[in-house]
């Protein structure tokens, strides 16, 4: 292990010796969070066997200290599916995936259990969204990690062994709460939805690892050497009633982007919000944004539009839609500009289902951020903003009709509910599923110089901050206090 990992393991062992599970969980979560916010790990660090081993060590100790009661039912319930997740939020792709699982398996019993790691509670909009399926959603109390772990343990203790799908967020060790010594009657699936950065659970033993797109599948199987990898394609819950399209209906292009805020706000050379006015200056049409934006970001966009002499009505903000496929048709979208720097997964499947052409960014850090292997291969792509302007200027109605057919055909070939259900049934009987044979590994070198220079800039920034901190009065007083403690023999 590296030095930081070694220190973390020693720290965890000390906590476990004192049965301090709250700080043990917190230490792991904080460690992973520090990696998530380090741009030098982007596209390079996807998970860690050492971190997953530490998580198992915590939970094994937890179950030894708080063993499952002997009343735990022995007989398995083969008709029950539990979805163990960190949280659900209205614009989350993983939320939509769980909904797909439930909708396309109406004869099964479904239960969602949330760790609520971030103490957000469960929103009424989520309860309303899942109410139509008549399922229960349980969430851990708004409390510390230890209380959440006790809650999850209690829920498992009250239910018969069954199949469990893990949908944990990157830095949620509480969700990895499987009773490791009693797994014989469980069927555990790890759904790798946090696939763009370091995440816990990637190397858990005795689980079936599921990747929702070909690139992730090949990356996990061939690069990360995960043996039990299967492929389960993304699909669409709320299909449009019709996908008949009329493009350039108003004589100018209508573009659209969607996604949660994090897909647009990561540190990157090209800024989506800065590009909206530039795009509208080229198209003189409308740009629709679907997904929550802060008031500050909205104001920033409106100010930029005014500077360029573009009316606010040319930018349409829609916080959320139930069906992105239907929204494409209802809003007469001509081109879908995939989110950047982090491309969408579930979103582009819905867009292709509606027969909407896609303009996709090739992220210079990693192809994994570009929707590689999900979007129809003939889709328009851009590397630098001038590419966007050029493509939008020369795109004709004939081009849009051609791309509409290609997008729809790609959806029908790879992502229909029937394909999803067939592969899920295969998984359930123990078969390992792979992407279609014509889905091959995708290579894209990106811009390694730009990536290197950005990493160097980040290192210089961190070094400068450290030097400033070390010159501060607080730092000097801290060092003086440590010297006094050592002289006094204090720990």
pLDDT in tens, 59-106: 999 988 988 765 545 678 889 999 999 999 888 889 999 999 999 899
Predicted confidence (pLDDT) per residue in 215-268, tens digit: 889 889 988 999 889 999 999 877 776 667 899 999 999 999 999 998 999 888
Distance CA 418, CA 433 (A): 15
Please work out, in degrees rounded to the nearest 5, the angle formed at the alpha carbon of residue 85 by the alpha carbons of 261 and 77: 150
Torsional sign, CA 103, 136, 79, 69: positive
Examine the pLDDT at 158 and tell me if it is beyond 90.
no
Distance CA 200, CA 387 (A): 37
Predicted confidence (pLDDT) per residue in 270-307, tens digit: 999 999 999 999 999 999 999 999 999 999 999 999 99
Average pLDDT over residues 124-150: 93
The pLDDT value recorded for residue 434 is 87
The pLDDT value recorded for residue 53 is 94
The pLDDT value recorded for residue 445 is 56
Distance CA 421, CA 332 (A): 31
The more confidently predicted of residues 471 and 49 is 49
Predicted confidence (pLDDT) per residue in 184-197, tens digit: 578 899 999 887 78
Distance CA 194, CA 100 (A): 17
The more confidently predicted of residues 113 and 91 is 113
Are β-strands 335-337 and 315-318 bridged in parallel, bridged antiparallel, or unpaired? unpaired
Does the pTM surpass 0.75? The reply is yes
- pLDDT class for 354, splitting at 50, 70, 90? very high
Highest mean pLDDT among 40-54, 66-80, 428-442: 40-54
**What does the CA dihedral 212, 218, 220, 224 come to, rounded to 10 degrees?**
-170
Average pLDDT over residues 138-153: 93
Evaluate whether 171 touches 32 at the Cβ level (below 8 Å). Answer: yes
Predicted confidence (pLDDT) per residue in 364-376, tens digit: 887 778 876 789 9
The pLDDT value recorded for residue 75 is 79
Examine the pLDDT at 182 and tell me if it is beyond 80.
no
Distance CA 328, CA 334 (A): 8
Examine the pLDDT at 457 and tell me if it is beyond 70.
no
Residue with tokens 């951020």: 369
The more confidently predicted of residues 131 and 454 is 131
């Amino acid at each position: 292990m590296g030095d930081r990992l070694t220190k973390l393991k020693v720290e965890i062992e000390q906590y476990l010796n004192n049965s301090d599970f709250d700080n043990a969980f917190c230490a792991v979560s904080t460690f992973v969070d520090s990696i998530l916010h380090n741009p030098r790990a982007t596209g390079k660090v996807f998970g860690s066997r050492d971190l997953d081993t530490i998580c198992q060590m915590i939970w094994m100790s937890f179950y030894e200290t708080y063993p499952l009661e002997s009343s735990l039912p022995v007989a398995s319930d083969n008709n029950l599916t539990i979805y163990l997740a960190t949280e659900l939020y209205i614009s989350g792709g993983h939320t939509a995936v769980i909904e797909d699982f439930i909708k396309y398996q109406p004869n099964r019993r479904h239960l969602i259990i949330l760790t609520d790691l971030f103490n957000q509670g469960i929103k009424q909009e989520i309860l309303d969204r899942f109410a139509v399926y008549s399922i229960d959603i349980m969430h851990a109390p708004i409390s510390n990690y230890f209380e959440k772990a006790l809650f999850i343990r209690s829920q498992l203790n009250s239910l018969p062994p069954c199949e469990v799908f893990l949908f944990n967020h990157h830095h949620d060790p509480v969700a990895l709460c499987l009773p490791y010594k009693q797994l014989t009657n469980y069927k555990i699936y790890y759904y790798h939805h946090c696939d763009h950065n370091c995440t816990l659970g990637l190397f858990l033993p005795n689980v079936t690892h599921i990747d929702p797109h070909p690139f992730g599948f090949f990356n996990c199987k061939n690069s990360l050497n995960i043996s039990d990898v299967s492929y389960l394609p993304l699909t669409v819950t709320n299909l449009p009633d019709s996908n008949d399209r009329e493009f350039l209906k108003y004589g100018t292009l209508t573009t659209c982007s969607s996604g949660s805020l994090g897909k647009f706000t990561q540190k990157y050379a090209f800024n989506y919000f800065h590009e909206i006015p530039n795009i509208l200056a080229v198209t003189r049409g409308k740009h629709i944004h679907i997904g929550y934006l802060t008031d500050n970001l909205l104001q920033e966009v409106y100010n930029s539009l005014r500077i360029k002499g573009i009316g606010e009505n040319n930018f349409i903000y829609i916080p959320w839609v139930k069906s992105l496929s239907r929204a494409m048709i209802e809003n007469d979208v001509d081109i879908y500009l995939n989110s950047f720097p982090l491309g969408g997964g579930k979103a582009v499947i819905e867009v292709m289902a509606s027969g909407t052409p896609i303009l996709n960014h090739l992220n210079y850090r990693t192809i994994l951020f570009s929707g590689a292997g999900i979007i129809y291969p003939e889709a328009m792509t851009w590397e630098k903003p001038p590419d966007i302007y050029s493509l939008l200027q020369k795109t004709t109605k004939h081009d849009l009709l051609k791309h509409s057919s290609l997008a729809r055909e790609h959806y029908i070939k790879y992502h229909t509910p029937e394909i999803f259900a067939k592969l899920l049934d295969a998984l359930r009987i123990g078969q390992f599923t792979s992407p279609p044979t014509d889905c091959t590994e995708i290579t894209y070198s990106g811009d390694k110089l730009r990536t290197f220079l950005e990493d160097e800039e980040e290192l210089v920034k961190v070094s400068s901050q450290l030097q400033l901190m070390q010159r501060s009065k607080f730092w000097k007083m801290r060092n003086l206090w440590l010297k006094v403690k050592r002289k006094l023999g204090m720990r």
